[in-house]
Amino acid sequence: MITASCPGANFREKMLITHRGLSGPAILQASSYWQWKANAPVTIDLAPEQEWTAPLRNGLGRRDLVAARGALREVLPQRLADQWIERHQPEDWTNRSLELLENAVHRWEIRPIGTEGYEKAEVTAGGVSTAELSSKTMESRKVPGLFFIGEVVDVTGWLGGFNFQWAWSSAVAAAQAIEKK
């Protein structure tokens, strides 16, 4: 479990590192909040609530790259831990440097350069404004007799079935209204 944070939202979920980038529930959730126009960062805590450098800081063990790698392997998958340590080697092994090393894992800031686009999207943001629809029947306020439901409306749910729920519920509401006409 990791925590992915965008301005306005934090998601404690699983993350998947693919050959093309970051994916998985935490990233998909955060992507709905990602302010791509502002090139805003997504901050990732790779080991929430885990003080992984504690074994090095408690003064009992070694303070070197091998010890740091071993400690990080306790909280991250081995290959990720090894790559991370390789790329974040501290200048020295003082308490201050260990603190920076600890924090880097908890505040990994990434600026996505793109998404996999419409082809791979699970939900789409945007669509017909809810302000233009009757919330009871989904009928357009501007064009009587015209109804909008589901994905085409500007409603974006979190993962977990909320988008299906919205699609089905709005469809039932519209269908009942049409039946009565």
Sole binder of ligand FAD in the list 40, 75, 123, 177 (CB under 6 A): 123
Between 84 and 148, CB nearer to ligand FAD: 148
**Whole-angstrom distance, CA of residue 77 vs CA of residue 63:** 21
Question: Given the structure tokens 């400690």, which residue do they identify?
Answer: 71
Give the three-class secondary structure for 131: helix
Q: With DSSP H G I counted as helix, E B as strand and the rest as coil, what are the percentages for the chain, rounded to 5?
A: 40, 15, 45
162 binding ligand FAD? (CB under 6 A): yes
d(CA 80, CA 90): 17
Among 161, 169, 176, 178, binds ligand FAD (CB under 6 A): 161
Q: Are 119 and 86 in contact (CB under 8 A)?
A: no
Cα dihedral sign, 60-62-68-72 = negative
- DSSP 8-state code for residue 133: B
Looking at the Cβ atoms of 82 and 151, the one nearer to ligand FAD is: 151
User: Which token pair is 52?
Assistant: 């992984």
Q: Applying CB under 6 A, does 151 fall inside the site for ligand FAD?
A: yes
Smallest gap from Cβ 126 to ligand FAD, in A, equals 13
Structural tokens at position 180? 């009565």
167 near ligand FAD, judged by CB under 6 A:
yes
Beta carbon of residue 160, minimum distance to ligand FAD (angstroms, whole number): 7
User: Residue 125 interacts with ligand FAD (CB under 6 A)?
Assistant: no
Does the CA dihedral 107-113-116-117 come out positive or negative?
Answer: positive
Residue placing its CB nearer to ligand FAD in the complex, 92 or 122 = 122
164 part of the interface to ligand FAD, by CB under 6 A: yes
Does position 122 interact with ligand FAD (CB under 6 A)? The reply is yes
Minimum separation from the CB atom of position 120 to ligand FAD (A)? 8
The answer to the question of residue 77 lying near ligand FAD (CB under 6 A) is: no
| Chain residues in the site for ligand FAD (CB under 6 A) | 122-123, 150-152, 161-164, 167
